[in-house]
Amino acid sequence: MPNVGHVYILLNPSHKLLKIGKTTKTPEERAAELSSTGVPAPFMVAHSEKVSDCDLAEAKIHAELAAFRVNGDREFFSVSLKEAIGIVSKIAKHFQIVINPSKESEDQKAIWQRHVLKAQATIDDVITPTWMQRAIQTEKKKNQSGQKPSA
């Protein structure tokens, strides 16, 4: 019997791998569960899709991402977030659940936008950590005021 649930993409700022899996809970609950297992930073939901059969959807997603899988026993993938979202979205379309099309699509759009903003903030911080961003801003201010930059 199919399990209604979510397929998700989680990211963690402590590493560059994506966790791609399934849950019958909410993706946020799953991220919280994984964050309490001794990782240096909490997992964040980068993308999720509600599906009619999360077991089968996850299996198809993992099969398509097999070349990017870091370890056969784990759900971690070394793939770009953009590519992962494309694959998850493409496969999830085959497992759509539509209760109230207009309400569902607006709710999904709002949830997706929140996830994208959170993910972008995390990616920005991984690429240029907050402490480095502050140092760059301080140097720019010094340059604009005519002070000598720090060595």
pLDDT at 147: 63
Q: What does each C-alpha distance from 116 to 15, 39, 49, 68, 95 come to in angstroms?
A: 18, 22, 13, 22, 22
**pLDDT digits over 54-89, tens only?**
999 999 999 999 999 999 889 999 999 999 999 999
Q: How high is the pLDDT of residue 21? A: 96
The reported pLDDT for the residue numbered 57 is 96
Three-state secondary structure of 7-74: EEEEECCCCCCEEEEEECCCHHHHHHHHHCCCCCCCCEEEEEEEECCHHHHHHHHHHHCHHHECCCCC
Judge whether 8 and 30 are in contact, CB under 8 Å: yes
The pTM of the full predicted model, rounded to 2 decimals, is 0.65
| Alpha-carbon span 107 to 52, nearest angstrom | 17
Tell me, what's the pLDDT at 122? 61
pLDDT at res. 113: 73
> Residue ranges of the chain with pLDDT lower than 50?
none
